[in-house]
Amino acid sequence: MISSKLEQAFNDQINKEFYSAYLYLAMKTYFEEKNLKGFVNWFDIQVQEERAHGMGMYDYVHERGGKVELGAIDKPVVEGSTPLEIFEQVLKHEEFVTSRINALMDVADEVKDRAALSFLNWYLKEQVEEEASVGGVLQTLKLIGDDKKALLLLDKDLGTRVFNPPVIG
């Protein structure tokens, strides 16, 4: 049985995971307007991944006998008016999510829930990969600068990304 303190912490994180999906959906609209279909694809994959992360935690809470309580999702705010600025926000957001996973792990450690710690290790590893992936795109965007041809090449490359449903846990 999951402790009430950990259950609440999971519910808060579930909300943050679904907010992430909502934020990336909002960012996708910028790229739709610019007709950058590869970037659109990249954000489509992000939306699916964040939704899967939230559902993984949702299922976990139920498996542990807890109750999921869904809260309101804040309106996403997209900061930036260039691909570079948007990806800077993406990295900042992923770093925030990493900090929240760490805080959730702190609660699991505090209540001595080894099963939750084991479960959350997958999420921590995923966040390392997320930050590295976003950091790579960000570095490429910095190299590109104002070169529209290079931006189109990156767009084409991002269009090849596919969603692989995660095996969480």
pLDDT in tens, 98-142: 999 999 999 999 999 999 999 999 999 999 999 999 999 999 999
pTM: 0.95
CA distance 162 to 72: 29
Burial of 67 (C-beta count, 10 Å sphere; 0-12/13-18/19+): exposed
Q: Which CATH number fits domain 4-158: 3.10.20.30, 1.10.1520.10, 3.40.50.620, 1.20.1260.10?
A: 1.20.1260.10
Per-residue pLDDT at 169: 73
3-state SS track over 47-91: HHHHHHHHHHHHHHHHHCCCCCCCCCCCCCCCCCCCHHHHHHHHH
Which of the residues in the chain have pLDDT under 50? none
What are the residue boundaries of the structural domains of the chain, listed by start?
4-158
CA distance 130 to 135: 8
Contact 168, 122 (CB under 8 A): yes
